[in-house]
Amino acid sequence: MAPSAVSLLAVAVALLGVLQPAATSPPPSPPAAPATGPPVSCASTLYNLFSCTPFLSTGTPLAGPPASCCATLRATLASPDSICLCHLIDGWFNQFANVNIDAVRLALLPIVCLAIVPPELPYVCSALRDSVASTVPPAPPAATLPRAALKDSVARRG
């Protein structure tokens, strides 16, 4: 090939490379739907998980969880409400539901229900627990309380 033909071919390939992406680029995608954020309250989510308490409670016969428990657990884990499960992990649910959740049964629940736990959930729960613990000041030791407060406290208990 003559040098002018090679130059012309190189220019044609370069132009084709520049013009091709513009001609074949896909139309802009529609705006994404807004992501749903974490729930404002976990009360309804935790209430729905009450069907799991016979399986989770310490001292109850170890039988499989009810189907309604597994369905609720899978739906919760697949939604932003999964953050509410931190209340089960950190023990708050024990006080809320007046039950004693067995930590081993809690760890087994997703396995028994064939539920997929989001890998970030334990880290999120740990971060939440740490942030709450750092914002709540510790109770003062009894020795630093004024004597009147101690007498009041003893009188109320007595």
Please give the pLDDT value at position 20. Answer: 42
DSSP 8-state code for residue 91: S
Please give the pLDDT value at position 120. Answer: 92
Which amino acid, one-letter code, is at 91? G
DSSP 8-state code for residue 117: P
Domain that holds residue 63: 43-129
Residue 85 contacts residue 72 (beta carbons within 8 Å): no
Asked if residue 156 belongs to a domain, the reply is no
Please give the pLDDT value at position 122. Answer: 87
Please give the pLDDT value at position 140. Answer: 46
Asked if residue 135 belongs to a domain, the reply is no
Please give the pLDDT value at position 40. Answer: 67
Number of domains in the chain: 1
Asked if residue 112 belongs to a domain, the reply is yes
Note if the pTM is more than 0.75.
Answer: no
Asked if residue 77 belongs to a domain, the reply is yes
Please give the pLDDT value at position 16. Answer: 38
Task: Count CA within 13 A, CB hemisphere, residue 61.
Answer: 2
> ∠104-110-115 over CA atoms, to 5°?
175
Across the 158 residues of the chain, what is the mean pLDDT of every consecutive 10-residue run?
A: 44 39 45 47 88 90 91 95 89 81 92 94 85 48 44 45
Asked if residue 151 belongs to a domain, the reply is no
The CA distance from 133 to 130, in Å, is 5
Asked if residue 149 belongs to a domain, the reply is no
- Both structure tokens of 129: 């627990």
CATH of the domain at 108: 1.10.110
Which amino acid, one-letter code, is at 40? V
Please give the pLDDT value at position 94. Answer: 84
